[in-house]
Amino acid sequence: MTEKPPTTECLSDTACLVVFCKRPALFHGKQRLAQTIGAKQALKFAQAFLDCALEDARAWPGPVVLSPASSGDVSWAKTLLDRDCRIVAQPQGGLGQRLWDIDRTLRREGHRKVIFIGTDAPALTPMHYAQARAALDTADIVLGPAADGGVTIMGARTPWPDFRLLPWGTSELGQALDALCRRHGHSTQALSPSYDIDVEADLSRLSTDLSGDRRPARQRLCRQLKAYLNPGANAIA
């Protein structure tokens, strides 16, 4: 795993994938989900969602950055991937501020194309990632619309307009982000829609969507989902 930032001369035009991640812990993250399924079960799913995002990072054909939620989790983040990557801890502030600061840091180091994902959208497929990489060959901004009005992927080949005060974490974010970029003269392109996992109702949809997915972390998650959604199935069998 690389620890020092690469020199500008070493950077290619391949997009850098940044994974914003939070260390799974009881009562820390996925709280809307925990309200209905319990903290322990929410923690199990949070770890499985993280494993899916790491699976995507392993498959990424370019530089990868893991961005843990705090500097105290840097040592933990260093253990997550068995491929070269960088660890860049998120600074303090709201989500918009943190994304802004990490994006600026990477661009100062010479990265032209930067794509952000979180760890709560395991329904993302290789198609979504291929679309994102291809879109940044022609568009300034790429956005993966989420079913709840947010975004599952956001990337740019140009510095973002100042998005720090947008309604992050709300159903208005996707439209607000697209409109802001267009007002500043940037071309935008939407990916195929997807969704993230916020509430218990999302779990049934995810179980169905992952039923034919052959990626190992998705297979494990699918088994967990089926066991949770159909607790008596194995006993009956």
Mean pLDDT computed over 219-227: 97
pLDDT digits (tens, 9 = 90+) for 41-75: 999 999 999 999 999 999 999 999 999 999 999 99
Contact 52, 218 (CB under 8 A): yes
Contact 103, 20 (CB under 8 A): no
Mean pLDDT computed over 123-136: 98
**For helices 201-210 and 216-229, what crossing angle results, to 10°?**
130
Owner of token pair 């568009």: 139
Mean pLDDT computed over 4-21: 73
pLDDT digits (tens, 9 = 90+) for 149-203: 999 999 999 999 999 999 999 999 999 999 999 999 999 999 999 999 999 999 9
Give the per-residue pLDDT at 12. 58
| CA gap 197, 195 in Å, rounded | 7
| CA gap 26, 231 in Å, rounded | 22
| CA gap 146, 193 in Å, rounded | 6
**pTM surpassing 0.75?**
yes
DSSP helix/strand/coil, 229: helix
Give the per-residue pLDDT at 11. 57
What are the domain boundaries of the chain?
A: 14-228
| CA gap 65, 67 in Å, rounded | 6
Give the per-residue pLDDT at 6. 53
Model confidence at 29, in pLDDT bands (50, 70, 90)? Answer: confident
pLDDT digits (tens, 9 = 90+) for 196-210: 999 999 999 999 999
CATH class of the domain defined by 14-228: alpha beta
Model confidence at 5, in pLDDT bands (50, 70, 90)? Answer: low
Most confident of 2-16, 23-37, 110-124, 219-233: 110-124
